[in-house]
Amino acid sequence: MSHVAGPTGKGGPWLSVGLWVAALILGASAMMFQERTGPTKELRGSMNVAGAEYGYELTRSGDSSEDERVAIPNPGGVRGTLLYKRYKTDDQLTSLPLRVEGDELAAELPRQPAAGKLEYTIVLETADGGRIRVPDQEETVVIRFKDPVPAYFLAPHIACMVLVILFGIRAGLSALFQPSAMVRYAWISLGLITVGGMILGPIVQKYAFGAFWTGVPFGYDLTDNKTLLMWLAWLAACGILLRRWQWTDAVRRGTVVAATLVMTVVYLIPHSAWGSELDYEQLDQGVPAVEAVTQG
């Protein structure tokens, strides 16, 4: 492989250290953004009771094998009610009284089949007759249930998807500043997204929601389609690197940078958006739950 003189050359050990630090910072930032913005991340907020602020976290992901506990801080001197119904249905709201558990008020949402969703809110009644809605916006909280996924599939899947953003960004930085390391990190990125996204990803989804793949061409599940886009980007980049005699150095480096940019943009899209969703209308008509799952 030919090297370019100047700042894009092979460089010394300090250049490698600097690029790894940059990759760690950028990769961690992208992962934190995705983790905090996903529709299954706990909804954080605060409520004001008698002039005091109380922070809360409302669950938005549940396990189909058990009821899901919903809890908020107990400010004292209030009665609370959990109101819920099946998502996207005309069901009447069901009311559950919140019970006192130490310094919390809590109740359980009933478990749902995989991909089933409930929407819920909490209403507090103060001693003077006031009402406080949690959350205070007009929207309800939506929680989605999933079947358990064995740790021996889930853990390596998560590990691969964390490492691919790290090595992928490192490959892009290498293409810009240290092309001698670019090929190695590009191939590592392709291997990680292949194993973590295209092999383990469908297995995890099968366990969680009953289908291996709900992206193109079978559906528009955003998580599957994001994974496919990343995989194709790294596959194209490595394909060009593999036939290096047919492409100029600028084209090869530019392709790796493009794959890195595609991957980074994908990671900035919230995880689980447009994901699997149980159609309760079909379920009520007798369709088995596993066959009544669509993309929401």
d(C-alpha 41, C-alpha 44), whole Å? 9
On whether residue 140 sits in a domain, the answer given is yes
Do residues 48 and 88 share a domain? yes
**pLDDT score at 274:** 64
Please say which residue of 113, 145, 177 terminates a domain.
Answer: 145
On whether residue 216 sits in a domain, the answer given is yes
Q: How far is CA 18 from the centre of its chain?
A: 29
H helical segments located in 97-248: 151-177, 182-193, 200-209, 222-242
| Residue 259, both tokens | 């794959």
Q: Which domain holds residue 129?
A: 43-145
Q: Please state the domain count of the chain.
A: 2
| Pairing verdict, β 61-63 and 141-146 | parallel
Q: What is residue 192's three-state secondary structure?
A: helix
On whether residue 1 sits in a domain, the answer given is no
**CATH number of domain containing 76:** 2.60.40.10
Among candidate residues 85, 88, 82, the one with its CA nearest the CA of residue 58: 82
Do residues 139 and 154 share a domain? no
With helix as H, strand as E and coil as C, how does 54-73 read?
EEEEECCEEECCCCEEEEEE
Please say which residue of 145, 161, 183 terminates a domain.
Answer: 145
Angle (CA) 243-190-214 rounded to 5° is 120
- Print pLDDT tens along the chain (296 aa): 334 333 444 567 889 999 999 999 999 998 888 777 777 788 999 998 888 899 999 999 999 999 999 999 999 889 999 999 999 999 999 999 999 998 999 999 999 999 999 999 999 998 887 899 999 877 899 999 999 999 999 999 999 999 999 999 999 999 999 998 999 999 999 999 999 999 999 999 999 988 898 877 777 777 888 899 999 999 999 999 998 878 899 999 999 999 999 999 888 877 666 678 899 999 999 998 888 888 66
Residue whose pair of structure tokens reads 């493009």 in the numeric block? 258
Element (H, E) at 99: strand 99-101
Do residues 140 and 212 share a domain? no
**pLDDT score at 6:** 38
d(C-alpha 80, C-alpha 66), whole Å? 22
On whether residue 238 sits in a domain, the answer given is yes
On whether residue 196 sits in a domain, the answer given is yes
List all residues 6 or more positions away from 51 whose beta carbon is below 8 Å from its beta carbon. Answer: none
220-250 exposure pattern, b = at least 16 Cβ within 10 A, e = fewer: ebbbbbbbbbbbebbeebbebbeeeeeeebe
What pLDDT, in 10s, does the model give residues 40-64?
A: 788 999 998 888 899 999 999 999 9
- Number of other residues whose CB lies within 10 A of the CB of residue 6: 8
Do residues 288 and 163 share a domain? yes
